[in-house]
Amino acid sequence: MLTFTLEKNKKYAIVQGDGFEDLREHFSVKNEAARFTKRFNPYISDRQYAITPTGRFDPGLFEEIKKYLVSKNYAGKINVDDLTFQHAVKPSPLGWMQYPQYNNQGYSLKLPLRDYQSDIVTTCLEHGRGTIMLATAGGKTLTMASLISRVSTFYQKFKCLVIVPDRGLAEQTYNDFTEYGVPFKPAKWTGDDTLDLSADVIIANLGILQSENSSLNWIEFVDLLIVDECHKLRKTNNFNNIIKQIRTPYRFGFTGTLPDNLLDQWNIIGKIGPLLYEKNSYQLRQEKYISPVTAQIINITYKTPPPPVSTQDISSRYRNEMDFIIQSEFRSQLIATLASGVSNNCLVLVDFIEHGKILELACKAKCITKQVYFIQGSVEIEEREKIKILMEANSNVVVVAISKIFSTGINIKNLHYIVLAGGGKAKIKIIQTIGRGLRLHSSKTKLTLVDLADQLEYGIRHALKRQEIYKNENIAQTAHNVTTS
């Protein structure tokens, strides 16, 4: 028999009994770092585990554990009689649903919910904790606003913490909540805003929560936790330390996609809750909630490739290749020509400031009739908002931007073209990037993604990875070949 209980501090669940070792082994992955570090630490494990040797695990993982046991036709009894454990893993039936004020009727915001958004809110209310995978441009912020609005009616005194990745998204979420006409009092807490504990809902960015100068005593007692872009809650990052301070089992995470690494997935599910709902980009496109998208692959062959680096160090070789394409006049002019040749707004994404400055100059020289901007970290939030508003109102804007700033959370309806000028292969980054331009607009029949595939050592490898992502996302691809002069 496997017995599940909750520790006295209610932060961790414990599993004990027959079949424990097999269960623990299933929830583990190969430790890729072990072969590099064993010579310094011979005791390091060859595997990494989601369940400790003493049986401790994050309560949200229970549903995954239960699924596994059922799939393996576990012959023993699964003992979950502990009510505190039941409340921790699925808090709503023993909590919210017992409140006299509880109801499952919708709260009317200024924007009506789509059917799937209503389904998400209802499912969240029935469970009390969980993870929602809703593709970018699917309306996560409106869904969160509706969920929080409904929950706020259960409490006379209500406190909710909404965690977002950065200051720009904190500003945007606060403005959206206000625009939706929510019944609660929202406030944003960033480096530019003072903490207002009189607010019902506090929207805070990760930076302020991780600051050594921030007092976080109050977050222990919030009634509800919402984590936007929860895919950032990786197993090894400091984000976990913030989540550990929060007592409430009522918590929800929203993301467009989960990490590929199973340990990271289990960490998110364990800290937040089981996967309750999934709506991917292809489904939203099929149902015409977001714009169609196509990928135009431009294979660039260089007659004079970069000279080889006499080193086996992968990072040095990769950086040498990146320096080459950043400095390539042909490539810069190709991007500038693409930006000048389209009749609508264009977003050019790069990974390095140096690259952005070069492309900004190239685009300004080529795009005579267009407005060209470069958005990097030093550009204030207010200025970014002004540029975004300018893009929504005009069709002659070219924005070069650092991908870390514009690949998450920023949605521009009047955007027809995105140029991937920096390469890369990270799945979440690519999918989030595509999402920047998927919102519907009266002038848009589709989003065109321009993918520069440099025919170099890493350029080819990364391009193939991106094309695999497009295939999995059901995005049509067309290839074009160009060769430097």
Per-residue pLDDT of the chain (485 residues; tens, 9 = 90+): 899 999 988 889 999 998 899 999 999 998 776 666 666 666 667 789 999 999 999 999 999 999 999 998 887 778 888 899 999 999 999 988 888 888 766 678 999 999 999 999 999 999 999 999 999 889 999 999 999 999 998 887 889 999 999 888 999 999 999 999 999 999 999 988 889 999 999 999 999 999 988 999 999 999 999 999 999 999 889 999 999 999 999 999 999 999 999 999 999 999 999 999 999 999 999 999 999 999 999 999 999 988 877 767 788 888 999 999 999 999 999 999 999 999 899 999 999 999 999 999 999 999 999 999 999 988 888 888 889 889 999 999 999 999 887 756 567 889 999 999 998 888 888 888 888 888 888 889 999 999 999 999 999 999 999 999 999 999 999 999 999 97
Cβ-Cβ contacts under 8 Å for 388 (sequence gap 6 or more): 410, 412
Cβ-Cβ contacts under 8 Å for 443 (sequence gap 6 or more): 344, 395, 414, 416
CA distances to 160, 354, 388, 478 from 149, rounded to whole Å, are 11, 44, 28, 44
β-strand 28-30 against 78-79: which pairing, if any? Answer: unpaired
Cα distance between residue 266 and residue 31, in whole Å: 15
Which residue's structure tokens are 């909630």? 289
Long-range contacts of residues 208-212, Cβ cutoff 8 Å, at least 24 apart: 209/163, 209/242, 210/238, 210/239, 210/242
Residue type, 125: L
Cα distance between residue 284 and residue 452, in whole Å: 26
Per-chain mean pLDDT for the chain: 91
Is 216:204 a contact under the CB 8 Å cutoff?
Answer: no
The predicted pLDDT at position 37 comes to 64
Is 402:433 a contact under the CB 8 Å cutoff?
Answer: no
Cβ-Cβ contacts under 8 Å for 172 (sequence gap 6 or more): 141, 409, 410
The predicted pLDDT at position 327 comes to 95
Residue 411 token pair: 């949605």
The predicted pLDDT at position 104 comes to 66
The predicted pLDDT at position 36 comes to 60
Is 25:83 a contact under the CB 8 Å cutoff?
Answer: no
Cβ-Cβ contacts under 8 Å for 81 (sequence gap 6 or more): none
Cα distance between residue 419 and residue 346, in whole Å: 7
Q: pTM of the prediction?
A: 0.89
The predicted pLDDT at position 410 comes to 66
The predicted pLDDT at position 438 comes to 86
HSE value, Cβ hemisphere, 13 Å, CA-based, for 61: 30
Taking the mean position of all CA atoms in its chain, how far away is CA 233? 9
* DSSP letter (8 states) at residue 271: H
Q: Give 420's strand partners.
A: 349, 451
The predicted pLDDT at position 65 comes to 95
The predicted pLDDT at position 8 comes to 82
Across 153-205, the runs of DSSP E, i.e. the strands, are: 160-164, 186-189, 201-205
